Structure 1
Amino acid sequence: MLKRVLPTALLATFLFSCQQKSTSDLSYSISSVTRDSITQLHIKMEFAADTSGVTNLSFPNEAWGETDLYQTLGSIQLLNVEGAIEKDLDSGRIVLMHPKNVERLKVEYLLQQDFDGELSSRAVYRPIINQDYFHLFSHNMFMVPENTDDKIDISLSWADFPEDYTIHNSFGSGEREQSLVDMDKNQFGNAIFVGGDFRVFDGEVKGNKISLATRGEWVPFKDEEVFEVLDQTLTHQRNFWGDHSQGYFTVTMQPFPQEMGSSFQGTGLTNSFATSVSNNDFTEIGQMVYLFNHELMHNWIGHTIQNDNEEEQYWFSEGFTEYYTFKNIAKNKINGLDGAFFIQEINRTIRDLYASPVVEAPNAEINYENFWTNYDYSKLPYWRGAVFAFYLDLKIQETSNGKKSLNDVMHRLYADATSKNQKLTHDYFLTVLNDYWKGDFESFFQKHIEEGQKVDLVGLFSDLELEFSPMSDIYELGFTFSDDRKSIASVVEGSAAWQAGVRKGDEVFSRSIWQGSIDHDVELGLRRNGQELKIAYRPITKAEVPQLESTQENIQKLGF
């Protein structure tokens, strides 16, 4: 059931004890002020001083891809003692120098937005503070003393905000006084805080509170539609894992304007998931279905079942998450999607994998540098891992005569992670799969994950008597940009780009490219010998890429 909560209502949550120390280890008082016609947040904090006479406050100048965050900091003052304050940009800390005999320090500081104009996708991870609302993450809002224990009592007081001003965050909704007892400092540092004209919707999953906080006038969908997707997603994912342990969970969603195309960002946080979504006709509810299901599935795959070595096991944490995103949506008909959707997404993933220029790159090449700087490598573990999971699921079902599936493997991984703190290593994965696989799984894993060779989908589909086409259209851009992306460096002769007239050396003055999509034209504005050319073409080529037919028989055989 969906219930809209007015901003003045208080949402009680059992996460926090009503008992408070006379003085918390760390206390904050947050209020809104206007200085020189600029809306800012005024934060006062109190905490134990370091006996050395130097207390360091953690406040990164660079975080989550953002730099120069100290630009958002206004004046910082010691309130109860004489002393000095220094900003250490390199270490990301504020250094307080004070008398050694002081037991507790009181500090105040101001925060303000450091960009003008409308919000864009480039600014969503910076502090957003204006007369209508604020949107911040812990690391760019709260200074935290470095001399505290890992678990501390924290109090938050939201003072002097109007009665109709929403206060909402990773730790509760509508509460003007919050007591976070025995709070893990890392969890506090990984949270979202919003306020202002946000609308809050709330509900329950097996007695546990869930909520959606959003604002603005949405063009592509209604608030109630988004909340319904969130409710369905959390209900079915928690049912799958048999995990209803989370007493409170919220999703925040803020819109930003974008003229063409759609984009969205999502960040998993403590008790929460923060999203920013382009607000135009190019965005649709289906994208929220995918975003919620993929990112919230990471609560288990990637967070509870942790990679032992991040990039080395991205085929699992990203690829298996991708597969179970499709499977969870289709199995439970989230937003009305069913087995036809599953086949559509598996086919798309197979096409994307086969079209990748690094399709058979060994797993060792999916390293930190490649993954975070190269689009092809960043997508490879999603596609390879999802297709690998799909193959394993069908083979386990086939060899067990339908008595077992990849679900049994996932539940065992989850049980070991929660009861033994077992992390996902390749050796551990091999040990588990040996109980479900007929034959030499180590060699199979070595060939298709470690070495990166494609699995035999044609053989699989034939063995299972699934209807499929052996050929398909796949994405081929057909040319490469120069390093500065201002000209054409090379063109694949005979490609759609070549046939449309793209040539090496052409200067590029405009472009519209839906990366990886075979459903949208590439549109280029080119200059050649002083002449401007407008070129459009569909970036496809035929290839031996097996694709499942979306027939009722196939849907039933796949278990939907």
Structure 2
Amino acid sequence: MKQIVMALAGVWLLAGCGQNLPADGPGLSVLLAPYGESEVEGMDVTLRLSEPGAAAGDALLSMPVVLVGTPTAAYSAEQVQAADEQGELVLTARDEDPTSSGQYRSYLVPRDTVGDVTVSYRAEPRQVDKNTRNGPLFDVRPQDGGIMGAGVYFMLLPSDEQAKYDVGMDWDFSNAPAGTSGAWSLGEGEQELTLTVSNLRFAYYAAGEVKRAVDDPDAAFNLYWITEPPFNIEKLAANITRLFKTMAEFHGQPDASYRVFIRSNPHAGGGGTGFIDSFAFSWGIDEDASEDGPLMLLSHEIAHNWTGLNGKDEPHALTAWYSEGTAEYYKVVMAHRAGLMSRAEVLETINDMAEGYYSNPYVAASNEAAGEMFWKDGLAQRVPYGRGFMYLTNADAKIIAASDGEATLDTLVLQINALQDEGENIGNERWQQLLAGYIGNEAFTDHQAMVSGELIVPHPQAWGPCFAPYQTQVRGFELGFDRMNLGQVTNLTADSNAAIAGLLEGDKIVSFTPLRTLRDDVEAKMTIIVERDGETFDYTYLPRGDSLPAWLWRDVAPEVDDCQI
């Protein structure tokens, strides 16, 4: 596959898919050895670096200490054993300066290294409970006798994220409970691949009594889980396999591979995070059983395999409108083309996305200003989703109109992918030039308006011929406090309905109405029970904000069978 944008529930990183990288770097062997008696308690990790040639004081290895608010294993130097051909290397740890997304720790060698270097350490899962703040699926967590998590949590790796290595990956289950197996983003068993450090770090790993949708380690598409999910896994697997095949064929890559990992949370709230050629999602203790499972969530993330701009020196905040907007657009389009979404479901979904766009309190913020808030407010993170979707919806309508139906957004997206595959770097400026080739100078004025945060009004033919936009009013979902921490009331908005009802900062949440129920019904009220100073209190309020102008769609051509979606 081509490059993917890894949507890390707030972190955005470009990671090239390793199978297509040239083998121009040194060797790196990785051995993962789960251990434990009755259940997997952790993994012993051994790395061998082929002649790294590090000088005294150089950073041989690194790992995050915290990334977008999620802590990692963050080993001390004493927890890591290293040696080369001359003997032991006593590493020292140095914490680097924090950035807007987190902080890394480097591990320095005391002298020049000689020959190969072997590194070993023990990785243990993070212990979480119902009060743990929800976030990206980075941390390694216990799962019914097994463990699941990302390399970014537990893997010590060379410091250069984009350095390429001939990687040997293998598993050792000799100290693990009977029945233990392992899988990761790029497959199972012993493998030899050419990868970057970032590929290994931002991959997903599972060990334990791992269940599979397809009992074939070489299957191009598979789902993995340890804890049994509350939805129909067989139906989800069949639907997602069908969806992935539709997307891969659309992009001219019918042999592409992809893996999905599913894990449970001991707290309320789920979510998802994209990794190399894979995606991980979770469900919380508040989840209702769903026949279809999180189809739209997975459709969005699978679409990320083929969406993204690779322009140099452009921060994510300035290109996220494209990566997230195309994923939002194609999650609907491709699900419909795969036969997994009815006409009515398409209409409902695009209206939900439009409502989210118009009701977002950051709707008027520029892309740059919204980007500065990505790591502080989950609603700011949603700006490129809704904005990109609405902007691209209009771009599609204008391309169709200008070309008399000979071209669509599909045409332009496939053109961009082909140019990037050929090595061209495409950012905002080049995007405008390419779009102008279809609709003229309007491409430049539309883009500037979108970037600056001007409100986007749908083109009259957007989502035609079956659907047409109309102006209305919406009241956006507003919980009133941090929706990523549903064990405690934090970041309570002073003038919200939650605060007016009586909730206080620091209240421990005992129970509440499922968020899905509240989002799906604009009249549904939140009933929440909290504990405060040894007493319990219950409150009821409408989790909605003020009425705001918006544009939604209605079905205007029920007699038309082909909606040209």
The DSSP-based 3-state class of the residue aligned with 1:454 is coil
Q: Find the partner of 2:264 among 255, 270, 273.
A: 255
1:302 maps to 2:308: yes
1:443 maps to 2:479: no
Q: Which amino acid aligns with 2:373?
A: N
2:475: which partner in 1? Answer: 474
Cα 1:276–1:72 change in 2 (3 A) is: farther
1:229 maps to 2:235: no
Distance 2:528 2:283 in 1: 26
Instruction: Compute the TM-score of the two structures, normalised by the length of structure 2.
Output: 0.76
Q: Find the partner of 2:181 among 160, 166, 191.
A: 166
1:144: which partner in 2? Answer: 157
| Matching of residues 202-281 of structure 1 within 5 Å | 202=214, 209-222=220-233, 224-244=234-254, 246=256, 248-258=257-267, 262-269=269-276, 271-278=277-284, 281=287
Is the 1:220–1:280 Cα contact (8 Å) retained in structure 2? no
Structure 1 residue 145 displacement after superposition: 4.2
Structure 1 gaps, min length 5 = 1-14, 492-496
Is the 1:73–1:112 Cα contact (8 Å) retained in structure 2? no
1:370: which partner in 2? Answer: 373
1:10: which partner in 2? Answer: none
Distance 1:461 1:186 in 2: 39
Q: Find the partner of 2:539 among 528, 531, 534.
A: 534
2:405: which partner in 1? Answer: 402
1:85 maps to 2:90: yes
Distance 1:476 1:160 in 2: 47
Structure 1 residue 210 displacement after superposition: 1.7
The DSSP-based 3-state class of the residue aligned with 1:299 is helix
2:554: which partner in 1? Answer: 549
2:358: which partner in 1? Answer: 354
The DSSP-based 3-state class of the residue aligned with 2:495 is strand
1:428 maps to 2:430: yes
Structure 1 residue 352 displacement after superposition: 1.9
The DSSP-based 3-state class of the residue aligned with 1:446 is helix
Structure 1 residue 297 displacement after superposition: 1.0
Is the 1:322–1:382 Cα contact (8 Å) retained in structure 2? yes
Please tell me whether Structure 1 or Structure 2 has the larger radius of gyration of its CA atoms: 1
Deviates more, 1:539-548 or 1:463-472: 463-472
Q: Find the partner of 1:57 among 60, 71, 79.
A: 60
Is the 2:357–2:383 Cα contact (8 Å) retained in structure 1? yes
The DSSP-based 3-state class of the residue aligned with 2:275 is strand
Q: CA RMSD in A?
A: 4.3
Is the 2:173–2:181 Cα contact (8 Å) retained in structure 1? no
The DSSP-based 3-state class of the residue aligned with 1:359 is coil
Distance 1:116 1:56 in 2: 31
Distance 2:538 2:144 in 1: 46
Is the 1:74–1:111 Cα contact (8 Å) retained in structure 2? no
Q: Which amino acid aligns with 1:357?
A: P
1:194 maps to 2:206: yes
The DSSP-based 3-state class of the residue aligned with 2:416 is helix
2:127: which partner in 1? Answer: 115
Q: Find the partner of 2:33 among 31, 34, 39.
A: 31
1:104 maps to 2:116: yes
Is the 1:307–1:317 Cα contact (8 Å) retained in structure 2? no
Is the 2:360–2:379 Cα contact (8 Å) retained in structure 1? yes
1:341-386: per-residue Cα shift (whole Å, max 9, x none)? Answer: 221112122222222233233334233x222223332212211111
Cα 1:265–1:89 change in 2 (3 A) is: farther
The DSSP-based 3-state class of the residue aligned with 1:97 is coil
1:185 maps to 2:197: yes
Deviates more, 1:455-464 or 1:195-204: 455-464
Distance 2:203 2:536 in 1: 53
Deviates more, 1:433-442 or 1:460-469: 460-469
Is the 1:268–1:295 Cα contact (8 Å) retained in structure 2? no
Cα 1:329–1:119 change in 2 (3 A) is: farther
Distance 1:323 1:122 in 2: 24
Cα 1:420–1:468 change in 2 (3 A) is: closer
Q: Which amino acid aligns with 1:457?
A: P
The DSSP-based 3-state class of the residue aligned with 1:202 is coil
Cα 1:38–1:229 change in 2 (3 A) is: closer
Structure 1 residue 110 displacement after superposition: 1.9
The DSSP-based 3-state class of the residue aligned with 1:69 is coil
The DSSP-based 3-state class of the residue aligned with 2:91 is strand
Cα 1:554–1:322 change in 2 (3 A) is: farther
Q: Which of 1 and 2 has higher RCO (CA within 8 Å, sep 6+)?
A: 2
Structure 1 residue 444 displacement after superposition: 3.1
Is the 1:469–1:549 Cα contact (8 Å) retained in structure 2? yes
The DSSP-based 3-state class of the residue aligned with 2:67 is coil
1:138-158: per-residue Cα shift (whole Å, max 9, x none)? Answer: 334443345999333332342
Cα 1:429–1:487 change in 2 (3 A) is: closer
Distance 2:441 2:559 in 1: 26
Q: Which amino acid aligns with 2:60?
A: L
Distance 2:81 2:463 in 1: 72
Q: Which amino acid aligns with 1:85?
A: V
Cα 1:474–1:242 change in 2 (3 A) is: same
Distance 1:546 1:490 in 2: 26
The DSSP-based 3-state class of the residue aligned with 1:517 is helix
Instruction: Compute the TM-score of the two structures, normalised by the length of structure 1.
Output: 0.77
Structure 1 residue 49 displacement after superposition: 5.8
The DSSP-based 3-state class of the residue aligned with 2:71 is coil
Q: Which amino acid aligns with 2:411?
A: D
Distance 1:307 1:463 in 2: 37
Cα 1:440–1:141 change in 2 (3 A) is: closer
Distance 1:133 1:437 in 2: 54
Distance 1:525 1:387 in 2: 38
1:126 maps to 2:128: no
Is the 1:473–1:543 Cα contact (8 Å) retained in structure 2? yes
2:519: which partner in 1? Answer: 517
Cα 1:209–1:203 change in 2 (3 A) is: farther
Distance 1:213 1:324 in 2: 24
Q: Which amino acid aligns with 1:243?
A: Q
Q: Which amino acid aligns with 2:271?
A: F
1:435-480: per-residue Cα shift (whole Å, max 9, x none)? Answer: 2216633223333x13322333385579979555532443264979
1:279-329: per-residue Cα shift (whole Å, max 9, x none)? Answer: 664253555211211111111112778894421122211122211111111
Distance 2:183 2:481 in 1: 46
Distance 1:476 1:149 in 2: 40
Q: Percent identity?
A: 14
| Matching of residues 7-26 of structure 1 within 5 Å | 25-26=27-28
Structure 1 residue 388 displacement after superposition: 1.5
Deviates more, 1:183-192 or 1:312-321: 183-192
Number of aligned residue pairs: give it.
514
Q: Which amino acid aligns with 1:67?
A: P
Cα 1:355–1:227 change in 2 (3 A) is: same
